[in-house]
Amino acid sequence: MIINRATYKFIFKKILLLLFFTLVFLYDYFVTYISFIDELVAVLFIGSILFVRKIKLLKLEITILGLLIFVLILGLLSNLMTEKTIVYKAIVLDILSFYKAFIAYFGVRIFFRDISWVSLYPSLKKLAQISFFVLLVFILMDLVFHVFPKASRFGIKSLELFFTHPSRLSFAISFIFIILYPYYINKWKTVLVFILIVGMVTLRVKYFGFVFIMLFFVFYKNIIARVNVKYIYTFIALLPIALFFIFKEWILFYFSDEAIKLGWSRAVLLKHGFVISYDFFPLGTGFGSYGSFFSGPDYSWVYQHYGIHKVWGIMPKYHQFIADQYWPMVLGQFGVFGLLAMLGVIVSFISILLSFFKAQNDVFLKNTIIAGLLGLIVLLIDSSSDAIFSQNRGVVIFMLIALVINAVIQQQNKVEKS
């Protein structure tokens, strides 16, 4: 029996939908059984990149690949140059974990090159709508009957439902918002605002920052089309400064002596990220050595070297908070140049989306491109207190961005052929 092209595309669409649903909504609930799925996706995509017919990448995508390879070289050199060694298993697994989101991006761009956001969107929209309705029912049920465990924040109980943490629930709602944005933005903006309000039950400071930015994209998105790209970059550069003043007290606590004395793991990891980048300039300490998940099980020498192995959440027998941030890990493991390279990767993705947005006339595609940009914003916000770029949620967002870029390129190819 010969399977035609249409059947292949149908099967691949179902696979993508299943991945989105599993990685966003079921990952935490079945984490004991499917915690490997995002790494498995990365491995399969590596195979697709190697054996499937290649495509012509964008210039900025080639730049991104170059920067990622540069970081890989820096990390491996750091592993070789430091006197104390990291076990090979930790290095290999950390490389896979660090790159899996970017591997997923290029895997979707190449392996699923015939599938775009536009062709997948009807099913993806329905998935988001049903998921939101189900989550809303669970939230109302939990508020009334107190079914799920809750943590206290600001003297109020924050909801997490069946997720392992309130931030996972806030991401699920953010993901739903991103998916439904192109559909509702020109029809019922109140629906989008309602989705944002529902997510506030998690009481996450990061989510409040997300809401603040998203309200701009809901009510003032047309400004982006009229503003010069240079001013947009200026806005992106100034945005962290604005957020700093909004959440000034919370952010300053990260750098305070009080946080260090209290042994708050995030503050300790952040501070020593800078210390390591200075002590091991310009390389860092390498893969699997600092601030990454796989620096914990075989316990990296770096923590004892700096005397932070007694900090709660960073200890050998209890290292659950060891990978609680992203950028301190990048700074510590790959040094200043590695940090600059990874910032260059993010800026390159933003540049691709902005250039497509400026050149696009189709309203739905313009809103779709904004959705991809919103995905990056979610990752950047969450990366302040979570290693989200190297987690399942990073994989999901970069897969979505790849589908968005596929949609724009497919449209360009149709125009050129016609």
The residue extents of the domains of the chain are: 5-250+325-417
Q: Which of 20-24, 207-211, 331-335 is predicted least confidently? A: 20-24
Residue 1's pLDDT is 44
Q: Which of 83-87, 88-92, 116-120, 241-245 is predicted least confidently? A: 241-245
Residue 236's pLDDT is 63
Q: Helices 88-111 and 392-417 meet at what angle, rounded to 10?
A: 30
In angstroms, rounded to a whole number, what is the distance separating the alpha carbons of residues 16 and 103? 15
Residue 55's pLDDT is 75
Closest C-alpha to 41, from 99, 91, 90: 99
In the chain, DSSP finds a helix count (H) and a strand count (E) of 18, 2
In angstroms, rounded to a whole number, what is the distance separating the alpha carbons of residues 185 and 164? 31
Q: What is the mean pLDDT of the chain?
A: 83
Sole residue written with tokens 């809103």: 367
pLDDT band at 24 (very low <50, low <70, confident <90, very high): confident
Average pLDDT over residues 44-60: 75
Tell me how far CA of residue 414 lies from CA of 58, 231, 303, 410, in angstroms.
Answer: 17, 31, 55, 6
What's the predicted TM-score (pTM) here?
A: 0.89
Which of 228-241 are b and which e, b meaning 16 or more Cβ less than 10 Å from the residue's Cβ?
eeeebeeebeebee
Statement: residue 303 has pLDDT above 80: yes
378's tokens: 């979610």
In angstroms, rounded to a whole number, what is the distance separating the alpha carbons of residues 123 and 129? 10
pLDDT tens digit string along 309-344? 888 888 888 778 888 788 889 999 999 999 999 999
Q: Give me the helices (H) in 150-199, please.
A: 166-184, 189-199
pLDDT band at 48 (very low <50, low <70, confident <90, very high): low
pLDDT tens digit string along 147-184? 888 877 777 888 888 888 888 999 999 999 999 999 99
Q: Which amino acid, 266?
A: R
Residue 247's pLDDT is 54
Statement: residue 414 has pLDDT above 70: yes
Q: What percent of the chain has pLDDT over 90?
A: 29
Q: Which position has the higher pLDDT, 354 or 35? A: 354
Q: Which position has the higher pLDDT, 41 or 328? A: 328
pLDDT tens digit string along 353-370? 988 988 888 888 999 999
Closest C-alpha to 97, from 383, 288, 346: 288
| Enclosing H/E stretch for 117 | helix 117-145
Sole residue written with tokens 């730049």: 63
